[in-house]
Amino acid sequence: MAMLRIASAQINPTIGDMHANVALMLHCARQARDAHAQLVVFPEMSLTGYYPGDLLEDEDFQRRMEMGLQELQLATRETPHLVWIVGAPMRRQGPGKPFHNALLALQDGAIVLQYFKQLLPTYGVFDERRHFEPGPDVARVLRVGDAQVGFMICEDGWNDAGLDYAINPFTRLADAAPDLVVTINASPSNVGKREQRHALFGAACARHRLALVYVNQIGGHDQLVYDGASFAVDTRGTVISEAKRFVPDLSLLDFDTLTRTFARTDGTPCTHPVDPQGLPVMEFYRQQIVLGLRDYARRCGFGKAVVGSSGGIDSALTLALAVEALGAGNVVGITMPSRFSSTGSVSDSVQLCRNLGITLLEHPIAAQVSAFEASFAATFGQKLAGIALENLQARVRGTILMEYSNTFGHLLLTTGNKSEVSVGYATLYGDTNGGLGLIGDLYKTEVFALCRHLNTGAGCELIPQTIIDKPPSAELAPNQKDTDSLPPYELLDEVLKHLIEGNRLPPSEREHARAVVAELQTRAQGKALLARIQHMVARNEYKRRQAPPVLRLRARAFGSGRQVPIAAVHYA
């Protein structure tokens, strides 16, 4: 029997911390060596972390990158019989961009193979063509033990249907007839992405009769979160093994080069497919947000967070998720009642923070708002009223929260949801203040659903039912309700899904959103509502451009994945 033992090392690298990233890889390589693996595979650009962006243009970053590669090569000498597969930017010569996105096979201090990524994604959240030149249209294969192993990098494997690029690295690699394909990846996570990967690589493997090992990174990097979920596919196209999601994981598989089948290290054949369902959507949201916040705070140097607690559902959900990510002792809520605040805005905040075990501070704002009103009237000869007075309250609250953040060093979390962010139902320099938005890619209806999910998981009212049941309100004017300015969220969210995500929606969501929009278009009143919502989305691009980053959960989130001009005619 000719057997190759493979260690898939899904790690959580930090962008730019080459020394720490090498240490992560060495730790995994030692484990792989001790488990008698012959091949250890790390994610795409594991040396630098994905994606460095314009740091690649910084001379100091380039110098540290070169030093990191030398350190990495030196580290492989500790495991001389183990082949390391790593990802790194590699400098190139000649016309074009200065780097290749490279896969390196390292053994005993030497680079024994180089492969350069051919398909460079430059769409959505990706911008690789900005810094990288495509590699040549060639397959690279390396003998490891008794196996001929072929290599790809992430996007190279996504074009087997031939719809997006003129070349297909999968076909080229299949022509080289390897026993096994290894692909290294930095594939950001969103709803449905795991299932999409399985379907796409499963179909390609079945078509070419190739077995494949797919290794993905994990971790939060600004807006993006990577879920790991590395997997193996057999020659039938069946996903037969999967690593953990949202945590580092080193998984071991044996590959029989004669039968081209996988087995676990105890000899048990891998013949049964993994569960196709994965995580329920709300549980996926929970885990993705928690990891995203935890890594964002850690990498930006924050150990604690502060949230303005309005007694509403958005701030309640933000606080609950922050507690899970950072711990109750590291989260503070601040309630800031005004003369328009309901009794429940404070009492519900008190109950919520008691349930979560966190400190709640009260800082009334009536005096500050009155002082601004008096000063404005004295200077400009006119009283503050309407939207100006409403926004003043939000800005006073935002200022207090930033004062607290500056004084005590807490990360301020903004609490806007995707529905509000879409239509501009937020105050610039007020409730948009903060360093990160946890729920900015959740529609309002999903906010309610995730709150109920957290309560179910906790087995108690972690988030008080009174908060979930109360009609949403900004409480900036007497008896104000969100529905005074917006259509019901059940309707608004479907229209927004259609406008913002469109064909990127999962099929069931897409069909429902289209049906809602089609029904509205049958009536004059419905057409007017659609036009109003379209105008609101377009008109408020300037607010989103100045807002904090939001953790991406869906296929299209606001931020780097949606680039539209501010000064433009969006709809005729």
Catalytic residues: 44, 117, 154
CA atoms within a 13 Å half-sphere pointing along the CA-CB vector of 258: 3
According to DSSP, the β-strands at 359-362 and 411-414 are unpaired
The three-state DSSP-derived secondary structure of 393-453 is HHHHHHHHHHHHHHHHCCEEEECCCHHHHHHCCCCCCCCCCCCEECCCCCCHHHHHHHHHH
Distance between CA 10 and CA 13 in Å, rounded?
9
Using a CB cutoff of 8 Å and minimum separation of 24, what contacts does 169-174 make? Answer: 169/118, 169/119, 169/137, 169/139, 170/204, 170/208, 171/208, 172/137, 172/138, 172/139, 173/139, 173/141, 173/210, 174/208, 174/210
Using a 10 angstrom Cβ sphere, with 0-12 exposed, 13-18 middle and 19 or more buried, the burial of residue 456 is: exposed
Distance between CA 202 and CA 236 in Å, rounded?
8
Q: How many CB atoms lie within 10 A of CB 60?
A: 9
DSSP 261-319: EEE-TTS-B--SPPPSS-S-HHHHHHHHHHHHHHHHHHHTT-S-EEEE--SSHHHHHHH
Q: Chain centroid to CA 323: how far?
A: 19
According to DSSP, the β-strands at 147-153 and 180-185 are parallel
DSSP 121-173: --STT--GGGTBPPPPS---EEEETTEEEEEEEGGGGS-TT-SS-S--HHHHH
Using a 10 angstrom Cβ sphere, with 0-12 exposed, 13-18 middle and 19 or more buried, the burial of residue 528 is: exposed
